[in-house]
Every structure is written in structure tokens, then in C-alpha cells.
Structure 1
Amino acid sequence: MGPPRNRDEGWFTSLYVAEYANVVRYGLRRLADADASAELAQEVFVVAWRRRQEVPDRGLPWLYGVARRLLANHWRSRRGAPDVLPITGADLAGAAGSSGADATVGVADVLAALTGLSELDQEILRLVGWEELTVSEAAQVLGCTRATAAVRLHRARRRLAEAMSDRPAQPRRHPALATTREEL
């Protein structure tokens, strides 16, 4: 490995100023209140300071990974289901670039579809869609390889599309196993 990087107060201040709002928004999309998300962000930056030599140059995915683990530890300690808000209505309306009734119906449809997905599916979709990470960065947050994250994202998108269509996907059958003309 190369020489150790100088991670001093100036570096930390720069990281904090650049990424604090992103970490708070990450928390807001997963927690029920603003105070809890601000507290989560503070805990994330305490870890970043303590482990400053481990923080990569592009620190945001690493910070999201820390936040994810802190939330998992918190939920595990509560031994209950997390109060997760997969995506806020404002986030969806803004991302869709629409307003009015169509946006409201779209938000409700997406929220309903997301709640039917597993936590892992929701997380990969959030990381790529709402946190705007690349697949490689999402893999870093999830602690898996890029290939694994890409497969998870593909499958999660497919399951979300199926949930949005209000009909379960028909199993794909190999043509050699088709028993009727319609299945071919």
C-alpha cells in the first residue's frame, strides 16, 4: 500500500461539510423523524473520525455503509421491525419531474410496491435510485462485489416492475417443456 494519507481536522471538516447533508437525507429516507436522522449522521461522522485512515477518497459510499450498519445494529438491539420510510413522497415527485394528481398516484403506487419488496431489494433500489450511487459504490455500501450488486439491482428492478403491474410474473418455461401452443 502507499504512504498513509494525512487525515487531519481539515480533511475531516471538508468531508463533513461536503457529505453531512447527504448522510442526513440517507437517514431521513429510512427513519421516521428528522432528529433521528441527524443523530445518525452525527454517529456516522464519529466513526469516520475514529477510522479516518480507512475512509477512501470518495467517502460518501463508505459513509452510507457505516450508516447502514449503525441502523442495522439499532434495529437489532430493538428486536423489532425498523420504522423504514423507503422513499418520501417529495423525493418521488421531484424525481419523477411531475406534479399534481399523477404524481400523487405514482407516489402511492411506488410506495405500495416497495413495501412488498424485501429490505435488501429496497436498499439496492434506494442506493442506486435515490442516493445516486453507481453499482460499484452500492456494492461497497452493501459489502458485496460489484457483480453481486448488479445482479441484486437487476432482480430488484424486475420485482418492483412486477409489483407495480399488480400481477405476479408468470414463470418462464423452457420451450422444450411447453405443453400448450400458448406457452411457446
Structure 2
Amino acid sequence: MQKTWSAGPGRLTVREGDITRLDVDAIVNAANSRLAGGGGVDGAIHRAAGIDKLQAACREIIREIGSLPPGETVLTPGFNLPASHVIHTVGPIWHGGKDNEPALLSNAYMNSLRLAQQHDIRTVAFPAISCGVYGYPVEDAARIALSTLKKGLESGLVSEAVMVLHGETAFNTWSRIAEDIL
């Protein structure tokens, strides 16, 4: 399942599938602040990239910066992934919207696009950042994510952004919201 919309000079695709199998320039990892791997999409990306290689690259970054704050991004090679690069970003943990969560979530998407542009990355696939164990309400997260991606595409930061969702329910929700925004 897949749907695509134009956004400025670029395009936005919403699809159901496995982000680790996409042939794009970069995939975004919904990481934790220590870049330590974990469950969900983070664990799947580490396994597909090669746990030892990706964790070594992440540990080197953490040695330099200490931790990655919500909304910020770093880049590693993709190692065994079809994607050449992994953009790691930390989404906010949902606390009812009282802790600047919408701005932090928007920053996670926009800063991923900006980092991609800095490294001449043209196609980027995103998971639904913060929608798993971080508890962000899916419809709110979708509106923020898709609006932010639309702005980035209209600005020419990348040529294609792909939202990769797990399951038909998530695909249908994000597609419906994309229809409203795009």
C-alpha cells in the first residue's frame, strides 16, 4: 500500500512496509538519547544494519556529544542496509503536550531533513517518530510530521520523503491526514 503527493518540487509518499528494506539514500532511526539500540524500529534498524557496526558508530558519537537531545539529529553509515545512511533522531516522550512535545517532534523531522540536505541526501524514509513506546498520540503526531515534511519538501531540502508505517490501520490514518494537509 502506497500513496504519493506532490509538495513543491518534491514528493511525499505514505506507505506500509519495512523501513529497513527501502532503497533510499537515508532512513531515519527513531533513536533513544544514548543511540543504544532498543526495541521497535530502532532495534530493527540496528539488526538490519549490523548491530556491531552500527553500535560502534553510535558509541563513537555518544563519546563526543554525551547524549542526543530530543529533536536533534546525527548521521551514521547505513552499513548492511540498502540505504547508504542512517539519520538518528530522538523524538519526545509524550507527557500530555505540556513539555513542548509538538515543537520537539517537528524539530526531529525538520532537523532530519536539514541534515540530509547538508550531506546531499535526496531521498529519506521516516518511521512514525515517538508513536511507539514514547506514547505520542498518532493523529497528532501525523499532523505534525506531515506538515513539517511538506514544509521541508517545499523548501527543496530533499526531493522525496517517505513515511513508512507498520500495519494497515497506521497506513490508513496517515494517508487520511496527508489528504487533508497536502
**TM-score by structure 2 length?**
0.30
Rg (Cα) greater in structure? 1
**TM-score by structure 1 length?**
0.30
**Larger % of helix: which?**
1
Structure of greater relative contact order (alpha carbons < 8 Å, 6+ residues apart): 2
**Larger % of strand: which?**
2
